Chain A
Amino acid sequence: MLSIPYVTGYLTEHFGDDEFTQIGGYEKRGGYRAARKAMKEMTPAEVIDLVKSSGLQGRGGAGFLTGLKWSFMPVETDKPKYLVCNADESEPGSFKDRILLERGGHQLIEGLLIAAWATGSEKTFVYVRGEYGFPARQLQRCIDEAYARGYLGKNVMKTGFRHDIVVQRGAGAYICGEETGLLESLEGKKGQPRKKPPFPAQYGAFGMPSTVNNVETFCHVPHIVKNGAEWFRSIGTEKSPGNAIFGVSGHVVRPGLYEFPLGTRLDEIVFEHAGGVPDGRKVKGVIPGGMSMPILPAGQLDVPLANEFLRERKTMLGTGGIMVMDETTCMVRVACVITYFFRDESCGQCTQCREGTGWLNKIANRIERGAGHAEDLDILGDVAGKMEGRTICAFADAAAWPVQGLLRHFRGDFEEHVRQKKCPFTQSFEL
């Protein structure tokens, strides 16, 4: 059974209510009024300006300003423009988009409609992670309802604006969550990120100008249109406004979803809301934003969850997937798991990523096995450094950063493996 967030906010407040997933219930709670307002009372440029002034940042990991991204879409063009909703949610530790699809399908559709109006897009492709069968079906049902009620189709709300939404299921590759890898996969090709330039706003889905945003990003938009940019800016921090849904997993009493304003402290979420580590054990480290973000040690959890603060501690908010590890965790084993994942998921285009992910994994495995050498630690850091910032997409960064984070804060674990020539933690395994 799906877990409704323990702490809800404007995004998820009705998610416990089954009626909210039906179009009637959604309308009763004010649904589709924001879309009507945007399309009947505002010009596309006004909507983009509103989103810009709200300061909404993309919730897919990179935190790019949403309004700015929309403004890159060409206004004068003969080509059809497309919107792409990234529902691939492939980042390990992240499971927020799933609930937004399952319980808030109409909220997403309304966000898509407003974004489509703002960018002049005639079609939206929602690319849903292959494993998300139920969420995809829930969303499709909502889309069908919206068509029946005239919110989608040839004449949206009798405004003459045309918009269609197509749900496309992925086949389960991490890299298809990268926006251009997603576009390739959407087009039926192998999911490999495209080199930039050209950027999706010039050459996106099927070669047409496209905007790609995360599910959660779109879900904020109706609320911004309804309540205004001032309201949105009043939530969260000055630089990172709005709520975010955090997915807490790992060694905590109450793993699950929590909607909080950005800037909520990490230790508050982990200890007060998620109940801390069970059985009186201590926290060892916390990954604040999905597996590709560098880990924070127990002593550094007093940080507000917003990029401007997390960057000071050399990590980022990412997708808001908080992974808690207690004192029994072997950080070399964590490195093995993480590097194995990235080795397996690298698309294999760029040299650094293709060869680097494999090499990192082999070294981590060797250290875990007890066959590590003192210089291996430096090689790990050096290889990660050679991968970072040098490739077509951010995958190599995502593979390098967690290794750098583990070395930065838990070098002792690695050294201990080398010294003892075995894993000092029990239950060790190798991937």
Chain B
Amino acid sequence: MPRITVDGVELEVPAGRTILQALDDAGLLMNGVDIPHYCWHPKLSIDGSCRLCQVEVEGAPKLQIACNTPVQDGMVIRTASEQVRTAREGVMELLLVNHPLDCPICDQAGECKLQDYAFEYGVTQSRTREPRRALKKHVALGPTIVFDQERCILCRRCVRFCREIPQTGELAVIGRGDRSVIETFPGAPLENDYSMNVADICPVGALTTRDFRFKIRSWFLQDVPGVCTGCARGCNISLSVANNKVYRYLPRRNDAVNDTWICDAGRDSYREIGARDRLKHASVRGENGVLETVSTDFAIQEAARRLARIAAAKGAGVIAGIASPHATNEDLFTFRRLLEALGAETRGVAVVRGASDALLVVEEKAANAAGARAIGFGDAAAVLDRLRSGAVDALIALGHDIAHEQFLGGTQGLEKLDTVVVLDSHVSELQRVAHVLVPTRVAAEKHGTLTNCAGRVQRVRAAVEPAWEAHGEGEILARLGAALGLGGFDGRFDVREVGKALSASLPAFEGIDLETVGAAGRPLATAGASG
């Protein structure tokens, strides 16, 4: 392995990498070693055109671009010399020659690399007297992306992204010299399942998503690390939060899961958090057969009363549990403990399947399907068999995936049950048969961990608080357990403690809990999870 010296610090780096790649591998790029760059992106091919990443390499007659210069043993690199600084100033001044400097009305302001580097390396006074190039300010490149030609610095990340990642190649540079503009081909708009990533990788305000633009200034937003729940891939995301509202999902880099990408469907799924069809109050079915709004506490008492009655009359064997593959590991572990304490042996998880692609999207449309299996929830088919055979009198359902056409296809078979307890975040057709209905939280509203399709356990955080009374499934089940008087249930639910208990009792989760899982997640200790 070659040894290189960067600003006096010696590093051992893998051979065959360029300077920027090697620093990125070592986690030092822009995190100890500042080499500003525009065209280089860790997950795209090297372009070498913005010329901002020039560094001094001892022995080389000219400055070298760090993005394309392979490391060699004994290489001595200086990233902060006077010569380098002058070169950066030169590039920044030239990049701003034609830039409209319309930051006050630009959506990127505050999270713009042109602003950042101009602030750090730019000159404070413009020397241009010439008019800047006047181009189109609003070009709809496709259904999701709006392009401002004037702000574009032609780093061509978006062009390379479309060619290399979704491999749809919708974008190209048209024209030469200072007449160059990014364009789509006639009749072929920017339209692919990953199109909005171009707005993330655009270092300036040229590409913005139609969805997010002009919603809020970026400096009001707080980034909360989380996980996308659109499918079992568990792409790492940042939730941009302000005013107790999630404004967008941005992909968060995790080379073991999603690199730096997220699919458009996943990105759009933030809408589910504030959706109109969120379940906002608990209810119980009254004497007249109509659902009546009650407090969560009352609903839990009613569920406990019904379940206790059935257990006493027919034994807990007639109680079945359907887990939600959207709930956290801690929620599901609590559910398993509850069912076991009750003596209910019939349990499973309903995981809806859908389309997948070669890049990120996997078939299972639930964030914690693998976790549910690892915690001991098998395929829902076994539960459905018992249900159809009449061996089940009461059902506790987390979520409504069981009603999906891939399982019950509605509520058939549930109407005749004595008791149906549903814990759900959104309104569903299970309302028609539920005797007790309790609203729950979605992943963005609670702390916990999710296990992705590859068995990687990843942390989610409560980024926002629901404006109505809703609790995580774990907490509701803990209170239900206490109401039932089950051993080991005192009505409290501390997610950290539950995580530790899960880690202690299931070998797959050994050493994994909320504290140890880290920003990038940790794979399950034993292979028990598969997509």
Interface of A with B (CB < 8 Å)? Answer: 173, 175, 190, 195, 197, 343-359, 362-363, 366, 373, 375, 379, 383, 386, 389-392
Contacts and interface: CB of A to CB of B under 8 A. Distances in A.
B51 interface: yes
A358 B46 CA distance: 26
Interface in B54-87: 54, 62-63, 65, 68, 70, 87
B176 interface: yes
Contacts of B130: 359, 362-363, 366
Contacts, number: 93
Main secondary structure of the interface of A (DSSP, over half): helix
A392 B128 CA distance: 25
A355 B97 contact: yes
B107 to A, nearest CB: 23
9 contacts: A190-B173, A347-B176, A351-B91, A354-B177, A355-B178, A358-B178, A379-B127, A386-B90, A386-B94
B24 to A, nearest CB: 18
A193 to B, nearest CB: 10
A359 B177 contact: no
B90 A352 contact: yes
Nearest to A196: B68
Main secondary structure of the interface of B (DSSP, over half): loop
A355 B48 contact: no
Contact of A390 (B47, B62, B153, B176): B62
Q: Bin the interface of chain B by size.
A: 20 to 34
B98 A391 contact: no
Contact of A345 (B68, B94, B176): B176
A366 B178 CA distance: 18
Interface of B: 46-52, 54, 62-63, 65, 68, 70, 87, 90-91, 93-95, 97-98, 127-130, 153-154, 173, 175-180
A383 B97 CA distance: 11
B48 A392 contact: yes
A355 B63 CA distance: 20
Contacts of A358: 97-98, 177-178
B46 A366 contact: no
B49 A351 contact: yes
B268 to A, nearest CB: 34
B379 to A, nearest CB: 49
A350 B95 contact: no
A338 B121 CA distance: 31
B129 A344 contact: no
A343 B175 CA distance: 12
A172 to B, nearest CB: 12
Contacts of B52: 351
A175 B48 CA distance: 17
Given A351-B52, A379-B127, A195 B47 contact: yes
B50 A355 contact: no
Nearest to A390: B51
Contacts of A190: 173
A1 to B, nearest CB: 34
A29 B51 CA distance: 52
A271 to B, nearest CB: 37
A351 B95 contact: yes
A379 B90 CA distance: 12
Given A195-B49, A351-B52, 18 more contacts: A173-B176, A195-B46, A345-B177, A346-B178, A347-B176, A348-B176, A349-B47, A349-B49, A350-B49, A351-B153, A354-B180, A355-B95, A355-B98, A359-B94, A359-B130, A366-B129, A379-B127, A391-B51
